[in-house]
Amino acid sequence: MALLFSLILAICTGPGSLGSLSRVRLVGGDHRCKGRVEVLQGSEWGTVCDDGWDMNDVAVVCRELGCGAAKKTTSGTLFGPVAPKDQKVLIQMVGCSGMEESLSQCEGEDVFNCLHNEDAGAECELPESVRLAGGPTRCQGRVEVKFQGDWSSVCKAGWRFAAAKVVCRHLGCGRAILTQKSCNKATQGQGAIWLRKPLCSGQEVSLEDCPSEVWEHNCTHNEDVWVECEDPFKLRLADGNNGCEGRLEVLHKGEWGTVCDDNWRQEADQVVCRQLGCGAPRSLPVPKRFGRGVGRIWLDEVSCSGKEQSLEQCSHRLWGYHNCDHREDVAVVCEEK
């Protein structure tokens, strides 16, 4: 009877315009272009049901947010903290062509049978507006910002550690651990020097969100800003016979922790083996072969296509959010090169 009522309600309601929506945002991801989809209707933020949710819808969300190309559609439950029980699921059966400028121009329905375990998620490319150049990894280097298509370095004299925190967050790196002048000539820039001073609180999602002021300076490239963030995806395989087999552990906030095997597939093994410079993955071992980890479980619900160059490019729940114990620690065996 309940199913019949739902079908009748769906037929009576039918698809309509989502013109009542005024804003969209992505919540819980490691940067502003990735997360659980939430929409503003009136004065209320609510989630979107994943019934009918596809890459056309993600493309519109990415465009509306000023992000890069749509990368994937994911479950919103991967991004924590989870939506509170009293938050509404506002729309379902979103039907975008992919060409709309905003989600409000797409068709959709009011929700009649969706719960938060069906929240929609989205991942877009993060537009390249800031980078760390000249360093050993993408999370260490000289700060450069992009303006009108050109990259400019930033002067240390107008820089604060709060801005370094924002850069690390924007890039999806770990916490900021150092900001200083570029150490030597090999790490200094050669082009323009940014003429605006960012006034960040340290809580902003990206450097673009920080207020700034025009700043007349007399800096040289000897004063270029250098920032170091934690690399959020430093990996190791522990308690194996070599560096290409063992219990998977990742470094976060200076502490090694394990990865839960929920949703773990052979494609993720391929990414780990590639990132560690090992050969192809072998058949999945019994986790007890390498023992159980201790301490933190850092990642859960990791999902890879197998083409990623690093585990950081795979979707996963927010750091530290899981429903696992160490009996579920991931183990990986790769061929030695």
> Which tens digits make up the pLDDT trace of 87-101?
999 999 999 999 999
Confidence of residue 148 (pLDDT cuts 50, 70, 90): confident
Which amino acid is present at 181? K
More confident residue, 249 or 30: 249
The fold adopted by the segment(s) 7-124 is Mac-2 Binding Protein (3.10.250)
pLDDT(12) > 70: no
The runs of H, that is alpha helices, within the chain are: 2-13, 55-64, 161-170, 266-275
Q: Could you give the CA distance from residue 193 to residue 221 in angstroms, rounded to a whole number?
A: 8
| CATH number listed for the domain at residues 130-229 | 3.10.250.10
Confidence of residue 150 (pLDDT cuts 50, 70, 90): confident
The fold adopted by the segment(s) 234-333 is Mac-2 Binding Protein (3.10.250)
Positions of CATH 3.10.250.10 in the chain: 7-124, 130-229, 234-333
Half-sphere exposure (CA, 13 Å, Cβ side) for 300? 18
More confident residue, 309 or 212: 212
